[in-house]
Structure 1
Amino acid sequence: MTQTTDRGPVHSTTPVLVQGGRRAALVACLVRGATAAGLGLGALAVLVMVVWISSPYPDNGPDGALHIAAGLWLMAHGTELIRTDTLSGQPAPVGVVPLLLVVLPVWLVHRAARDGVIPDPAERRPRPSPRGAICAVSMGYLLVGAVVAGYSRSGSPAVNPLSALVQLPLVTVLAACAGVWTAKGRPAGPLPKWLPGALRLRLVRTRVAVALRAACAGALVLFGGGAVLVALSLVWHGEAVREAFPYLSEVWSGQFTVLLLAFTLVPNAAAWGAAYGLGPGFALGTGASATPLALSGDPAVPVFPLLAAVPAEGAGTPLNWACALVPVLAGLVIAGFTTAAAAPRFVDPALVWRNRETALTAFLGAVGCGVLTAAMTAAAAGPMGSARLLAFGPVWWLAGAAALAWSAVIAVPLATAVRMWRAGPGARVRRWLPRWPGFRRGTGTAPAPATDREPPSAPQPEPEPNPPTSGPPAPSVPAPVPASVPAPAPVPKPAKAAKAAPEAPAEAYDFLPELPRVADGPPHRPDPPEEDRDEEPAGPSPDRPWAAPASPWPQDPDPVTPADPPAPPAPAPKPEPEPEPKPKPEQGQGQESGPV
C-alpha cells in the first residue's frame, strides 16, 4: 500500500444510525411514533372503505368514508366527536368511546416505545435514554394526530378540539411510558425522588402491594360479573336483540357493521352491568335510570342490540335483586387476597399480622377497587346526543362510592375474623387435626411422622417372649474382654429369672451379604435355615437355653451344630504371686555354736 492510499477517506461499514450518535436514535424513535400512528389510522381506514364499498347505497362518497375513519381513530383515544348532520340541525355530541377500540392505538404506541429502548444484542447502534424515547415517540405520534384532527374539523363527524387537546396526548404519553417500562424489565422501583419521603416509605411496604393486588382482583371480579349479567340479559331478551339488526340495516354489510360496533362496546356493557349490580345502575337519559330496585323515569333508549338487554320498566323482581351477588363476590375476593398474605394457612401464629394491619390492608384494597370502578365507569359513559341523551351510562362517582362501600363492609370484617381464627382457635385446632387418620394439611392424607432415624429396609422379627423357668438361674456369661487387659474371674450371681439379651438395632443395609463384626462388637448370630423358620424345634436345644430347665453347670456345646455361637474366650490366667523371701535368722538364735 502506498502512502497516498493510506491517507485516503475511510469508508465505514457500520450503519448510518451509529455514525449519527444519540441524535439519530431519537430521530428513529420519532419515526417509530409516526409509523405507529399511520398503522392505526390505515387499519381503520381500510375497514371503513371495505364497508363503504360493500354497501349497495352509501350515503356519501369516499371523502365521507375517510372522515368516518379519522373520527374513529380519534375516538379510539377518548376524543369526543360532534355530529353535524342531524335531523334537528343541532350538533349532537358523541362521547361513548368503544373501549375495545382503544386497544389498537395503545398497543401500537407501546410497541414503538418498547422497540426504541430495548437493548441491541450486537451493540451496533446506540439507544436513547428512557425520557428521550418517550418524548420522541410521543412527538412523532402527536404530529400525525394533529394532522388528522385538523382534517376532521371540516367534515362530519367533527372532532371536539378541546377534547382532542387533552385526550390524545394523555393516552399517547401513558402508552409510551408503559412501553419503556416494559423494555426495562418492568421494574417495581425505585420510586420517583419528587415524592415525599414519608409517602415513599409507606408505598414500599408489603401491605400496599397486597392491597393493590386485592384491588385489581376485586375490580376484575366486579367487571367479569357485570359481563355475565349482560350476557344473561341478552339471552333473556333474545327476540329484541334479533329484531334490532334488521331495524338498523337491511343488507348484510350494514348488519355486519352493527355487529362490529356492538363487539367493540362489550367492555362498556360490562361496566354498565357492574354498576347495575352495585346498586346505582346507569342513566338512560336525563331523569331516567335503571337500578335493581326499579326502572324509573322516561328512558330514551335508541334501538341497538346491546341496549335490548335493559330491564323492563317497573319495579324490580328477585332476579334483579340477585345481581347483588356480584359485589359480594368482589368483597370476598378482596378479603381472600388480604388474608392470604396477612394470615396464611398452617403458619406460625407469631408470623401473623396484627388485626389493625389486616383491617387497614383490606380497607386499602376496597379503596383501590372503588377507584378502578370509578375510572372504568367514567370511560364507559358519555353523551349520545343532545337534550335528553346528554346523560347516558353509569355515574362514575356513584359507582365508585358503591364499590368502596360494598368492598369495605364485606372485606374488612371478614379478613379480620379469618386472621383472628387462624392466629387463635384455628392454630389450636390444627394441632390435633393431623392426628385424624387419612388427613393431611391441604391434601387429605395423613402426614408422615417426622423422625431422625432411618427406617429399616427389611422387616425385623419380633423378640420371643421369655418362658417361665423352674430351675435355678443360669450363670451370667461375662462379656468378651480384650486379651491385653486381664479380666477378673466371673462370679455367678443368682437372679430371679433369666432375661433375654436385647436384640441389636436393625442395620440399614442388612439385605447385603453378611460381614464380620468389629472386634469389640457382639458376635453375629446367623439366621436359622429355611426349613427351621416356620417350625421351632420342640424341647431343649443348645441354641435355645431358655427352653430347658436352668442348670448351674454350663452345658457342653454340640460340635455338629453349625448354628452354635462361638464360645466366649477363656479368661486370662491370673498370675501367681511371687513367694516372699524368708528372713535370715540372726546369729545366736536357732543355731548351735561351733567349737572354738
Structure 2
Amino acid sequence: MSSTTDRPSGSEDPFAVAEALQSVVRDTAAIDRQRPAAAPEDRPTEAIPAGDRPAGIAPDDEGRHDTVVVDDAMLGRRETVRVPLQRRPPQGGGAPLPVAALFATTWAALITYLPVAAVIGLARTLEGSGGLVAAAHAGLAGWLLGHGVPVGTSIGPLALAPLLLTVLVIWRLNRAGLHVTRAIGARRSGSFGRALLVGVAVGTAYALIGVLAAQLTDGRGTEISTGRAASHFLALGLAGALLGALRGTGAVSTLARRLPPALRHGIRTGLVAAFLIVGAGAVVGGLAVALGGAQAAEIIANYRTGVAGQAGITLISIGYAVNASIWVAAYLLGPGFAIGTDTAVRLTEVTLGPPPMVPLIAGLPEGPIGAAGTVLLALPVIAGTVAGWTLTQRLRFGRESAWRHARRKSKGKVAVADAEPPWLLVVASSLLAGPVAGLVLAALAWASGGALGSGRLSQIGPDPVQTGIVATIVVAVAVSLGASATRAFRRR
C-alpha cells in the first residue's frame, strides 16, 4: 500500500512540499472502480493510509482517499539550476597547422635526441672526455647518424645508422602526425589531401630541425653535409608523419578499398612475410649472441672502463640490434652479409678479417653450418607459409582475421566463415606477396648497411639486390604453398 509524508495544513516548509511532490511522482494511488469517477482535478492526488491519517479525520471516513495539495507557486519560487548539455567537439577548425606541426615535431625531436645524448655521454667515458657540452655535441652527431646522415671523422665517414634509433624516430614522427591531425580537427575526416598536408607540414618542420642540428654539429671534429641532413630529415618526417596522418584521418582504409582485392591482400601478406623473416633473424641472432655471452663479456671488459663506460658500449650495441636482425635474415635467406671488404658470412661460407670489437660479433659463426644447421634454411619458408595461412584465413573471415578467429576458437567461440575464397584470388595474392616482401627486405638490407671509416670496414651489411631477389622467390613459393594448402584442406 502506498504511503507518503503528509504536508501539515498551511505549512510553508519547502522540504515538506518537496517530499510530498516526490512521493506523488513515485507512488501510485488506488482506484475505487465501484464509485463513479469524480471530476478531474488539476492538482495531483495521493492516497494516505488509514494508520497515517492526520488528526481531524473521522473514523467513518476509512477507505476514502484524501488529497495532498502541492503549492505550485511555492515550488516556483525555489532556486533552480540549469544543467548544460554535453559539449560536442567542434567539426573542423582547430589549431593552426604551422603551429601544431612545429610544436609536435619539436617535441618528437627532443624525445628521440635526449636518450642518444645520455647514452653517448656514458660511452665517452672511454676517452675520459665527459662533460655536458661534449655529450650534447656527440649526441647530436649520433642522432644525425640515426637518420642516415653520414658523419665525417678523422678515420673516414661513419655511415652505419643504428636502426633501433631510426625506428624510434619514425614512431615518434608517426605520433606527431597523428597529434597534428587531431589538433587541426581532421580526425576521421577520411581526407587524403589533409593527411598529405599534415605530412608535408611535419616533414618541412623536421627538415628545418635537421638543418639546425647539422649547423651545430659541423666543424667540431665532425663534418656534416647540411643538404644531406635536410633531405634525410625531410624524407623521414614526411614518411613518418604521413603514416600517422593517414591513420588519424582514416584515409588509409579509403585508399585500401580503392585497390584491387588481389593487390590489397598481396601487399598485406608480403609485409607480414617480410617482418616474420626479420623476426626469425632476430630470434636466431639473439640466441647466437647469448651462446657467445662469455666472449661478449670479455670484449666489454677489455675496454677497461668503469661501469658507466661499459653501460654506454652495451647500449650502443643494442642500438644496432635491428641491423643485426636484418643481417641474420639475409644469412637465413642465403646471400649473407659482409663485415668489411673481401669478407662474407653465408650458410656455406664464412670469410672474415679482424672484426670490430663490439659485443655483437660474439654471435658470428665460426664456419659453414653443418648438416644439423640446415634446419635454419627452413625458417624463411616457415615464415612465408604462416603468412599464406593468414592470407586464406583473412579471405574467409574478413575483418575477423586469422589470429582473432584462432583466439575465439580456442575459447570455444567458433566464427562463421564466409564462402570459400576463389582460387584465382588466393593464387594472385600469393604471387604478389613475393615482390612486395622482396622490395621490403631489399630496402631494409640497404638501410642496415654502411661504413665505419674509409678503411677495411668501409663495406658492412648484406647486398640489397641479392637479398631482394632471393626473398621474392622464397616468399612467393612459400606463401602460395601455405595459402593453397589452407584453402584446399580446410577442417570441416
**1:246: how far off?**
1.0
- Cross-structure match for 1:218: 273
Q: 1:137 and 1:119, CA in 2 relative to 1: closer, same or farther beyond 3 A?
A: closer
1:253 is aligned, of 308, 311, 318, to 308
Structure having greater relative contact order (Cα 8 Å, sep ≥ 6): 2
Structure 1 residue 305 and structure 2 residue 359: aligned? yes
1:116 is aligned, of 180, 200, 206, to 180
How far apart, CA to CA, are the structure 2 residues paired with 1:145 and 1:131? 21
How far apart, CA to CA, are the structure 2 residues paired with 1:61 and 1:238? 32
- Cross-structure match for 1:387: 455
After superposition, the C-alpha distances for 1:543-593 in whole angstroms (9 at most, x for unaligned) are xxxxxxxxxxxxxxxxxxxxxxxxxxxxxxxxxxxxxxxxxxxxxxxxxxx
What TM-score, normalized to structure 1? 0.57
**1:47: how far off?**
4.6
CA contact (8 A) 1:26 1:133 kept: no
Q: 1:204 and 1:288, CA in 2 relative to 1: closer, same or farther beyond 3 A?
A: same
- Cross-structure match for 2:435: 367
SS at match of 2:152: strand
Q: 1:401 and 1:300, CA in 2 relative to 1: closer, same or farther beyond 3 A?
A: farther
- Cross-structure match for 1:484: none
What TM-score, normalized to structure 2? 0.69
- Cross-structure match for 1:508: none
5 Å-filtered alignment, 1:129-278, equals 129-185=194-250, 187-190=252-255, 204-278=259-333
Q: 1:358 and 1:113, CA in 2 relative to 1: closer, same or farther beyond 3 A?
A: closer
CA contact (8 A) 2:267 2:436 kept: yes
1:68 is aligned, of 138, 143, 147, to 138
Letter in 2 for 1:301: P
**1:255: how far off?**
0.6
- Cross-structure match for 1:332: 385
CA contact (8 A) 1:343 1:352 kept: yes
**1:384: how far off?**
1.9
**1:217: how far off?**
2.1
After superposition, the C-alpha distances for 1:145-186 in whole angstroms (9 at most, x for unaligned) are 211101222123432445324311100111221232232146
CA contact (8 A) 1:68 1:156 kept: no
CA contact (8 A) 1:286 1:391 kept: yes
1:288 is aligned, of 343, 352, 371, to 343
After superposition, the C-alpha distances for 1:238-288 in whole angstroms (9 at most, x for unaligned) are 321121101234321111001111221111111111111111111122221
Letter in 1 for 2:99: V
CA contact (8 A) 1:134 1:173 kept: yes
Task: List gaps (5 residues or longer) in structure 2.
Answer: 1-89, 188-192, 403-413
- Cross-structure match for 1:402: 470
- Cross-structure match for 1:320: 373
How far apart, CA to CA, are the structure 2 residues paired with 1:230 and 1:39? 29
After superposition, the C-alpha distances for 1:80-133 in whole angstroms (9 at most, x for unaligned) are 22222x3xxxxx222221111123333333333322221589x9xxxx954544
SS at match of 2:253: coil
How far apart, CA to CA, are the structure 1 residues paired with 2:428 and 2:325? 29
How far apart, CA to CA, are the structure 2 residues paired with 1:415 and 1:277? 22
**1:291: how far off?**
0.7
Q: 1:340 and 1:310, CA in 2 relative to 1: closer, same or farther beyond 3 A?
A: same
Structure with the higher fraction of residues in helix conformation: 2
How far apart, CA to CA, are the structure 2 residues paired with 1:342 and 1:25? 40
**1:413: how far off?**
4.4
Letter in 2 for 1:189: T
How far apart, CA to CA, are the structure 2 residues paired with 1:152 and 1:387? 24
Letter in 1 for 2:181: V
**Identity of paired residues, percent?**
24
How far apart, CA to CA, are the structure 2 residues paired with 1:407 and 1:156? 46
Structure 1 residue 37 and structure 2 residue 37: aligned? no
Q: 1:72 and 1:212, CA in 2 relative to 1: closer, same or farther beyond 3 A?
A: same
Q: 1:112 and 1:386, CA in 2 relative to 1: closer, same or farther beyond 3 A?
A: same
CA contact (8 A) 1:383 1:390 kept: yes
Letter in 2 for 1:361: S
Letter in 1 for 2:163: L
Structure 1 residue 357 and structure 2 residue 433: aligned? no
Deviates more, 1:265-274 or 1:135-144: 135-144
- Cross-structure match for 1:458: none
5 Å-filtered alignment, 1:92-107, equals 92-107=156-171
**1:222: how far off?**
0.7
- Cross-structure match for 2:70: none
Q: 1:402 and 1:300, CA in 2 relative to 1: closer, same or farther beyond 3 A?
A: farther
Q: 1:29 and 1:363, CA in 2 relative to 1: closer, same or farther beyond 3 A?
A: same
CA RMSD of aligned residues (A): 3.4
Structure ID, larger Rg: 1
**1:231: how far off?**
1.9
Q: 1:57 and 1:295, CA in 2 relative to 1: closer, same or farther beyond 3 A?
A: closer
How far apart, CA to CA, are the structure 2 residues paired with 1:358 and 1:57? 59
Number of matched pairs: 380
CA contact (8 A) 2:113 2:143 kept: yes
CA contact (8 A) 2:119 2:312 kept: no
CA contact (8 A) 1:281 1:290 kept: yes
Deviates more, 1:135-144 or 1:368-377: 135-144
**1:45: how far off?**
3.2
After superposition, the C-alpha distances for 1:327-357 in whole angstroms (9 at most, x for unaligned) are 1112211321233255789999994444443
- Cross-structure match for 1:559: none
Q: 1:328 and 1:161, CA in 2 relative to 1: closer, same or farther beyond 3 A?
A: same
Q: 1:22 and 1:75, CA in 2 relative to 1: closer, same or farther beyond 3 A?
A: same
CA contact (8 A) 1:234 1:309 kept: yes
CA contact (8 A) 2:153 2:223 kept: yes
Letter in 1 for 2:245: V
How far apart, CA to CA, are the structure 2 residues paired with 1:145 and 1:281? 34
SS at match of 1:159: coil
Q: 1:184 and 1:307, CA in 2 relative to 1: closer, same or farther beyond 3 A?
A: same
Letter in 2 for 1:94: L
How far apart, CA to CA, are the structure 2 residues paired with 1:398 and 1:73? 30
- Cross-structure match for 2:53: none
CA contact (8 A) 1:331 1:407 kept: yes
How far apart, CA to CA, are the structure 2 residues paired with 1:358 and 1:36? 41
How far apart, CA to CA, are the structure 1 residues paired with 2:103 and 2:157? 34
CA contact (8 A) 1:110 1:176 kept: yes
SS at match of 2:456: helix
